[in-house]
Amino acid sequence: MTEQLQKTDLKNMTRDELKAFMKEMGLPAFRGEQIFTWMHNGAVSFDEMTNLPQKLREQLSEQCMITCHEIARVQSSKTDGTKKYLFRLADGNTIESVFMKYKFGNSICVSTQAGCRMGCRFCASTIGGLCRNLTAAEILEEILAVQRDTGERISNIVLMGSGEPFDNYDNVTKFLELVHDPKGLNLSLRNITLSTCGILPNMRRFGDEFPQVNLAVSLHASNSELRSTLMPINKKYPMDELMEVCREHVEKTGRRITFEYTLVKGVNDKDENLSQLTKLLGGMNCHVNLIPMNPVSERDFKGTDRRFAEEFCKKLEKKGIQATVRRELGSDIDAACGQLRLNSQK
């Protein structure tokens, strides 16, 4: 395993980087194009690259590697086709991805870190803290591995799995370049949504560098004091500063922002919370995604039931705030983010 980790991971390279790497090996740049296309079509070994000379394939096998995740476990929903994957990485760490079927196409929720250090109190992903960041190749491989397993193309990506994307900014943005490459998966940036708990410097940077990517902000509270008790990040970047950056982002990109709001019974689902939320978001081009909390046995919180969530949603809409209740997918499997990984470690 150590030897494998020391090899150069070609899947972590952009097309231009691969072409330059081939030139360094004394080879024509078009070999980099060929390798890039093979990897992004799902090839997991150099032996599959039949338009490369045998000698080159052998040389690449000795010096290089292609990140390939081992499927440690799959949970498949019997109700809606959702599949939750537990992947084992080369160093033994595990991560999760979720494959979801919609009328508009197939979507995947990917992880950006093994674990998380944000410490949100209702989330399973952060239990145990952060193990490490994922490379761009490892995030990309979540998609390719699921496509190989299902035989179906993925057209939409949400970066909402384990980890905080803006805590792994450079690898995440390189991943976005890779999936957007026309010789790769060729996914539109408008078909990608990134969720952040609010690391403000990187939110500003992202709005400049990737204005087409949809931004979702994990809000989960209607006032700053409550948010600090649920999400430690709020102590560093308070809600008033967060909302200022959110409004800047909408103005800069011209795109609607989504606020994720996990309804926790008796904590953030009261009438006063609804009034505060209405005042907080009034006049902004935004949408509230209400999420009935999945139960996590290691946490004390209880989720608001879906019927109550629907009523909360209607009240928000009457106040002029666009809102929906997140569709429940995979309700018969470990649905909460981080649960499958957490259960595998017990």
Which residues have a catalytic role annotated? 96, 337
Could you tell me if 40 and 18 are in contact, meaning their C-beta atoms sit under 8 angstroms apart?
Answer: no
From 254, 330, 328, select the one nearest 290 (Cα to Cα).
328
Buried b (16+ CB within 10 A) or exposed e, 309-339: beebbebbeeeebebebeeebbeebbbbbbb
Question: Under a CB-based contact definition with an 8 Å cutoff, are residues 161 and 109 in contact?
Answer: yes
Q: Are 37 and 43 in contact (CB under 8 A)?
A: no
CB–CB of 170/133 below 8 Å? no
48 three-state secondary structure: helix
Long-range contacts of 82-88 (CB under 8 A, 24+ apart): 82/329, 82/330, 82/333, 83/146, 83/149, 83/150, 83/330, 84/330, 84/333, 84/334, 84/335, 84/340, 85/142, 85/145, 85/146, 85/149, 86/340, 86/341, 86/344, 87/141, 87/142, 87/145
CB 302 within 8 A of CB 263: no
Q: What is the largest CA-CA distance in the chain?
A: 70
DSSP for 281-345? HTTSSEEEEEEEPPP-TTS---BPPHHHHHHHHHHHHHTT--EEEPP--STTS--STTHHHHHHT
Q: How far is CA 24 from CA 17, 19, 20, 81, in A?
A: 11, 9, 6, 46
